[in-house]
Structure 1
Amino acid sequence: MMNKELVQSVEISIKEKKKIIKGQVIRAVISSRSKIIEIKTSDNKSYYLVYYKNSLVYGEKLEIVEKGSFIDKAYSKGIVLESHHPFLPVIIPNENVFIPNKNKLFSELQNQYSLQEVAYIATTLDSFFTKDQLIKIIDKIFFHYRRNGKFFKAFQITHILKGFSPELSLAGDNLNSQDFRSYDNFYNSSPLPIVYSKDPLFVELYCFKNRMSPDEHKILEDILKKQDCFLELLLLWMEKVDKYSKADSIEKYTNIALQFITMEQWILILGYLKINPFQELSQTKTVIDKMLHEEHYETAALYLLDFIEDLPNTYNDTLNILWEHLDTEFIVSHLDGFSMLIQQLVQENENQQCEQKLSHLVGKLLENYDLKTVHEKLQPIQKSVPDSKVFRKMNRMTTLLEDPDHMMELGQYYAEFKQYDEAIECFSWEMELHPDDYSPVWQLSKMYQNKGMVEEAVAYRQIYAQLKGNKEIS
């Protein structure tokens, strides 16, 4: 329920050493404090950028994403936004990124984040470093804390190591050791809000992993609010709406969204979530009215098309304005979406204006489809206006298609709809059947004149004059 024509692709420029690589974002994944952005370059190469708290940590070109890696698990367990998702541009921190030096990466990270965060970040980079390299870094942090008597901090690192490499005996031994037993009891027996006061990272990761559980979902919401992570809060709400097809607190999340994006963008996002924004939010009418005032009729139509059948009555005047001003070619290219609108409006508007619009509509369709196909496409509209002269002509044309004795009549109908090539074919057939009749010759001259083919028009006019003169003499 969202018009993809209104969603723009997101481009990113990546500076890697002395090279600049440009590509298009084809997917983004949110996984607790981390984010992965997948980029496809013009030569069909895939780059993956890993972020922590909206800051780029590292990225590289990857041939494949290995099964069981952080990126692979994020795709299956995180919040995934594909390239056509209208919220995707909002969560891209920067469209120009610089990939850090790989050799200096962890020393730089220690200048920006706590050692516990560095240990967690290391677990997100297993697509770019070997597992042994990352375990060695995490072990160093663990032993640093233990040597300095910070056993609770060391225990937190053991938790991270166990989650990253469950098969590692060292991590399991540490968790079961006497030194850490009291901490283990604290985690197992304390409510999550109490654990959060001691280890926010652990609780946030745990709640995100279990976010479909109502209790953990509520705790995660509270954490994000405290951290002013409103974009992540919006994503959490969107995922819930998408999964359960039930939207609550739309006004509340609209107010949050409008801190970051325009109402136009929010309309698209709600449409993507199968929520009718024009039913739910009164301020959407102002957005569409502004488009009409600025004569952006096609844009307004694209916003409304998916909800044509379920718009409030306050949009009736809006639909009439669109019917009056939209180009027929645009209507033809979106005929399925406009079908219901046309059925409604042709009954409400002045007959002459509607007949003219319908005539243009049939003509445009005949430029792309044969007569039978056009007739089928317009059947739903025809049923609502059975007395239309345009449709009566079209119905008559379909009955004449296989009748060689009425090519003259069929050609004249084609000419009325400005389908000059088809008309020429009909009049030429009539001329073959009745070589002494000058009427089809005159029509051929007119058709070529309408096509701007002056020489052919003059030639047929001369034949017409000769045939007419012969008939008068006889």
Structure 2
Amino acid sequence: MNEDQILLFDHKKPIPLRAKRVSFYLRGQIIEAFSETNEVYYLFFYKYNFLTAFKPTKLRRKSYIEYAFKKGMVFDNDHPLIYALLSAKQPFQMTSLKPLLKKLEKQYTPQEKTFILTFFESFIPKKQLFTEIQTTFYEFRRNGQMLLGYQIVRILMDFAPKNSWVKNLASDRSFSKLSVQYNEKSEALFTKDIIFAEKTLYGKKDENRCFQQLVSSMEKENRWMDLIALYCYKLTKTPLNDYYLPLKTLLEKHFNKTEIDIILAELATKIPTFLPLQEDLFNKYIETREIDKIFNLMKNNEFKLSNNQVLTMGEILSNSDLAAQAIDEKTFYTLLSPVIAMFPEKAEKLLTKYIITLFKTKELADIKTGLMPFKKNKNTLVLFEKIDLMQKLSEDLDEMQILGELYYEFKQFDKAIECFSWEMELDGSNPKPLQWLAKVYRELGMNYESDAYRQQCINLQKHA
């Protein structure tokens, strides 16, 4: 099973799913997944522990799940955070409210249980959830646990703000002192009510002080996935090393190189002007010799190559099929110049490859212009002579044979065929263009045509 695949059980019935995206929002995580018949399911987690899953009929407006995908930190299906969340060997079993309540009561505090229940208003009747939360509140009030009771009230104020019973409780004089403390949002209160604290800090996470408090809180609970999600969010809003370096430390601690590269590459598309990230990716792509990604990054950046990177780049360019790349002239010059400066003997071979790619979009005069920055290297003189000769011969129908051979040298097979065909028409007694046509077609893998020209050449020589 692939990393983004999930086997969900409805009772004993297995339902294969594929994850589409994940949201990290207020201590909870939701994976949106689709079945083989394209039906959507939502898997709920709390601090990375699987809770249950639902197949929705309709999502309520202003519900936890709506806010999770609108205000949460959302990542698409190929993101390693999804794989990390799914990697814990948990049975993904859909459960109804009663067994879910038993599970919550066993694993979480009453306040956490109450908060978790608010996740499900799109799937379980809100009145049923409300009644269950009321029961928890009444237990605290009977026991004289006013702070714990008021913590439940604060959750209800977000969950059912228009409910008259909730409104009356919120203004109850017995909670007036606590109400003042909550309005002040002191750090002392945050240590007592971590759910209220997170809601408050998350809502102001763009402010650096609140962001740092949120980071500190997540670190204390070892919520490393939330931290990575939070730093990714912050970095896209404020691209600074203050956020990038801690993110890299977290990634290196929890993910392998391939996974880190996926995360950084996705971030790079959102903050293309943030050089530290772009440089890290560039260095990585040189190390892994991914030439297409090197060229893409160099289009918008001019990174200075170290001596070791120049050596590696020389090997990459020598061993790559540059004709398969979409190469920007400026980018190629930036990469090739230090290589030729360090290894002048490689100039002719590398520039020959470059000329082959230029032929895809440019005429001879433009190709020569593109090569001019390299003319000072003595090893390129032969190439310039060939381009000059090709320009001259292209105006002379009597020299099609030589021009065709030069086109063949630069792998311009269609143009070579055109030249040899012209030569064959002009001088039908000359076997040479037939020999070259057989050679070109053989190079193209067109053996039938190659054999035909070869036989035609043999017949011509017999009657000579």
Question: Normalising TM by the smaller chain, what interval?
Answer: 0.7 to 0.9
Question: In 1, distance between residues paired with 2:364 and 2:106?
Answer: 71
Moved more, 103-112 or 255-264: 255-264
Q: Which residue number corresponds to residue 181 of structure 1?
A: 176
* Aligned equivalents of 2:216, 2:462: Cα separation in 1: 95
User: What is the Cα deviation at residue 176 of structure 1?
Assistant: 0.9
Q: Could you tell me which of 407, 416, 419 is aligned with 1:414?
A: 407
Evaluate the alpha carbon distance shift between residue 386 and residue 112 of structure 1 in structure 2; reply closer, same or farther with a 3 A threshold.
same
Match of 1:171 among 166, 169, 179: 166
Q: Distance in 1 between matches of 2:369 and 2:43?
A: 50
Count of aligned residue pairs for this structure pair = 449
- The equivalent residue for 1:80 is 74
User: Which of 200, 206, 211 pairs up with 2:200?
Assistant: 206
> Are the structure 2 counterparts of residues 236 and 407 from structure 1 closer, same or farther at C-alpha, using a change threshold of 3 Å?
same
Which residue in 2 is equivalent to 1:320? Answer: 311
Tell me the residue number matched to 2:141. Answer: 146
Query: Which of 297, 305, 311 is residue 306 of structure 1 equivalent to?
Result: 297
Q: State the partner residue of 1:109.
A: 104
Match of 1:384 among 373, 379, 383: 373
Which is worse superposed, 250-259 or 206-215?
Answer: 250-259
Report the CA distance between 1:162 and its aligned residue.
1.4
Q: CA deviation at 1:245?
A: 2.1
CA distance in 2, matches of 1:25, 1:93: 13
Opposite residue 5 of structure 2, the aligned amino acid is: I
The amino acid that maps onto 1:423 is A
Query: What pairs with 1:67-466 in structure 2 (closer than 5 Å)?
Result: 67-83=61-77, 85=79, 89-94=83-88, 97-103=91-97, 104-189=99-184, 191-248=185-242, 250-262=244-256, 265-266=259-260, 269-270=263-264, 272-273=267-268, 274=271, 275-277=274-276, 297-298=289-290, 302=293, 306=297, 309-311=301-303, 313=305, 315-325=306-316, 327-329=319-321, 332-333=324-325, 335-336=327-328, 339-345=332-338, 347-363=340-356, 365=357, 371-372=360-361, 382-386=371-375, 388=380, 389-390=382-383, 393=386, 407-420=400-413, 422-451=415-444, 456-457=449-450, 459-466=452-459
Deviates more, 1:86-95 or 1:115-124: 86-95
CA distance in 2, matches of 1:333, 1:384: 21
Partners of 1:270 and 1:277 within 8 A in 2: no
SS at structure 2 position matched to 1:167: coil
Q: Tell me which moved more, 129-138 or 459-468.
A: 459-468
Change in CA separation of 1:398 and 1:239 when aligned onto 2, cut-off 3 Å:
farther
| Secondary structure, counterpart of 1:68 in structure 2 | coil
Deviates more, 1:403-412 or 1:221-230: 403-412
Give the distance between the partners of 2:66 and 2:368, measured in 1 at CA: 49
User: 1:411 aligns to what SS in structure 2?
Assistant: helix
Partner letter of residue 53 of structure 1? K
Alignment of 1:46-85 (within 5 A): 46-62=40-56, 65-83=59-77, 85=79
**Change over 3 Å in CA distance of 1:307–1:263 after alignment to 2:** farther
CA–CA separation in structure 2 for the residues paired with 1:195 and 1:410: 85
Displacement of 1:98 in angstroms is 0.8
CA distance in structure 2 between the aligned counterparts of 1:427 and 1:222, rounded to whole angstroms: 75
Q: Distance in 2 between matches of 1:97 and 1:405?
A: 79
CA distance in 1, matches of 2:320, 2:140: 72
Q: Deviations over 1:267-305 (max 9, x none)?
A: 654552555458988xx97x889x5xxxx5449x85796
Distance 1:356 1:124 in 2: 64
Deviation at 1:266, TM superposition (A): 4.3
- Distance of 1:393 and 1:73 partners within structure 2: 66
Q: Contact 1:192–1:203 at 8 Å: present in 2 too?
A: no
Contact 2:50 2:90 in 1 (8 A): no
Partner of 1:3: none
- Mark the CA change 1:331 to 1:253 in structure 2 (over 3 Å): closer, same or farther: farther
Cα contact 2:420–2:436 (8 A) shared by 1: yes
SS in 2 for 1:240: helix
Which letter does structure 1 place at the counterpart of 2:432? S
CA RMSD of aligned residues (A): 4.0
Which moved further from structure 2: 93-102 or 193-202? Answer: 93-102
The whole-number CA distance in structure 2 between the counterparts of 1:231 and 1:192 is 27
Higher RCO, 1 vs 2 (CA within 8 Å, ≥6 residues apart): 1
Amino acid at match of 2:241: A
Per-residue Cα deviation, 1:79-125 (whole angstroms, up to 9, x for no partner): 22234556554455537651232242122211111221111111112
On the 8 A contact 2:53/2:95 being kept in 1, the answer is no
Separation (CA, whole Å) in 2 of partners of 1:172 and 1:163: 11
- State the alpha-carbon separation in 2 of the partners of residues 333 and 110 from structure 1: 59
In structure 2, how many angstroms separate the alpha carbons of the residues matched to 1:170 and 1:297?
Answer: 65
Matched residues, percent identical? 26
Alignment TM-score, normalising by the size of structure 1? 0.78
Quote the offset at 1:32 in angstroms. Answer: 2.2
TM-superposed deviation, 1:323? 2.5
- Greater mean deviation of Cα atoms: 140-149 or 451-460: 451-460
Q: Is this contact kept in 2: 1:225–1:233, CA < 8 A?
A: yes
Change (3 A) 1:381 1:109: farther
